[in-house]
Amino acid sequence: MALCCCQNHRPINLEEELADVLASGEKTELKAITDFEWDKMIVLEPYATFDSSSIKSIPDEAKSSIRSLDLFDSWSVLLFTLNDEYVAHSEVKASTTDNLGLRNGTYTPEMVIPIEKTE
């Protein structure tokens, strides 16, 4: 299970948890990939723009990860918030978020992945 960083505001690594969901092929609620409380997960794909001023207490390390999105096309950033306050972030392979159907946008803990693609 994922490491909790709620107290320390450090990045977490969710690559393994997301890869396991992808490999299993089973539908999984997003809240199952973390062991901390959150109410929004914001997915930022490569080259995404995002105004982080809407998130309270976002650390410089998370802001740096967001700024780096325009430099690397192989990574996505997942930002977790609770009541619009930063909880955690994770950098994951863009191919992983893409294969799970996670696109730029906001997701809730109850959402199920993989998200089926609509034609």
Please report whether residue 3 resides in a domain. no
What is the predicted pLDDT for the residue at 85?
95
**Domain total of the chain:** 1
Reported as a single tens digit per residue, the pLDDT across 27-65 is 999 999 999 999 999 999 988 888 888 889 999 889 888
Query: Which residues form the domain of 63?
Result: 15-111
What is the predicted pLDDT for the residue at 70?
72
Token pair, residue 48, equals: 């995404």
What is the predicted pLDDT for the residue at 115?
79
- Mean pLDDT computed over every residue of the chain: 86
Is residue 98 scored above 80 in pLDDT? yes
Please report whether residue 1 resides in a domain. no
Is residue 82 scored above 50 in pLDDT? yes
Cα–Cα dist 53/110, whole Å: 25
Please report whether residue 82 resides in a domain. yes
Is residue 6 scored above 50 in pLDDT? no
